[in-house]
Structure 1
Amino acid sequence: MFKQFILVFLFVIAGSKTNPVFSQGVTESQHLVDHKPLMNEVWKTFDTMLYKVNKVNGKTVYTPYFPSKLVKLDGTSVELQGYMVPLKAGLRHNRFLLSVLPVQQCMFCGQNGIPPMVEVTLSDNNKVWLKENPVIVKGYVKLNEKDRSRVEIFIRDAALLKQ
């Protein structure tokens, strides 16, 4: 298993050095202009969430901590642009994760740690087709510090504004 991981890792590293986009005459600076980051003030506020680390019965427990700026968003309506990340197999979804990075890009690669993701639940049990391009959702923020089987930040009663 470890050998397979190392082989995949080396393949990814080798592939990143021969990026076909850059080999076709597109410079890295032009690529950065063409690929606009999806981060906005809401995403930046979501990214302020931290974890408190405690020991409970000898186990390390991570509890979400929401700074006051993030607490102020709880219950408010927000619009977010991001990439759909499915929570289960299928082409149509009512619940999915929204990320600032596409699902094809390694969520753990890059700078400044893991980017924020939120769980989106569409209103009225609506289901939408999984998209590869960024979508815009509008819904209400719900902070979750209790249910450890789900993510810490939800967008509930959401609608897709851009598909």
Structure 2
Amino acid sequence: MLGLALCCAGVQAQVPAQVPAIGQGPGYHDPRSPFKPLQEREGVLSWSLLSSVSTKAEKNRLVPTFPAPVQALNQKKVKVQGFMMPLEPGDKQRHFLLSSVPTSCSFCVPAGAEGLIEVFTQQPVRYTLEPVLVEGVLAVLSDDPYGLFYRINGGQGLGAP
């Protein structure tokens, strides 16, 4: 599943910046979605801050340029809320993507790299369609082979936001 989700993201990451593509940007919350959009919360990392990254095309791929406030979060413990995209079989996940918007298709990436965080948790987190809150150490990635911009290591699920 990781290969499929990241394959789609990787293909889109190779599209020149002037050509808009599905799966780029912070994500679009469909007004028909049964899930409410995430609300900004004090003490929880803002998706608007994470999505403030800009990209430039270099050698057939997009290279991120992170603003100083995002760079300052590198290797810091953060809390972030989002929607789970499982990358493993089963109802408990230790490796998943966290998205700024809910998924509408099992095989589609709902946002670009600025709207996704790869998460590795110490203890499994039960999969849910509802938003979850995760805490862990954020890595800001400037040259990830899968085209990801963010990763949380050593995370733990804190339940619903």
Q: For residues 113 and 54 of structure 2, what CA distance do their matches in structure 1 show?
A: 12
So what's the TM-score if we normalise by structure 2? 0.64
Question: What CA deviation, in whole Å up to 9, does each residue of 1:13-60 have, x standing for no partner?
Answer: xxx9xx6x9xxxxxxxxx9xx934345552111101121212x3xxx2
Where in structure 2 are the equivalents of 1:79-118 lying within 5 Å?
79-104=79-104, 107=110, 116-118=115-117
Residue of 43, 48, 71 corresponding to 1:44: 48
1:155–1:37 distance in 2 versus 1, CA, 3 Å = same
Q: For residues 124 and 61 of structure 2, what CA distance do their matches in structure 1 show?
A: 35
- The structure whose Rg is larger is 1
What fraction of aligned residue pairs are identical, expressed as a percent?
24
Q: For residues 50 and 88 of structure 1, what CA distance do their matches in structure 2 show?
A: 30
The answer to which structure, 1 or 2, has the higher relative contact order (CA under 8 A, 6+ apart) is 2
Partner of 2:55, secondary structure, is strand
More helix by share: 1
Unmatched runs of 5 consecutive residues or more in structure 2: 1-29
Structure 2 match to 1:130? 127
Shift of the alpha carbon at 1:96? 0.5
Q: For residues 66 and 130 of structure 1, what CA distance do their matches in structure 2 show?
A: 30
CA contact (8 A) 1:94 1:128 kept: yes
Shift of the alpha carbon at 1:94? 0.7
Moved over 6 A (4+): none
Unmatched runs of 5 consecutive residues or more in structure 1: 1-15, 22-30
CA contact (8 A) 1:119 1:154 kept: yes
1:144–1:99 distance in 2 versus 1, CA, 3 Å = same
Structure 1 match to 2:25? none
Structure 2 match to 1:120? 119
Aligned length: 124
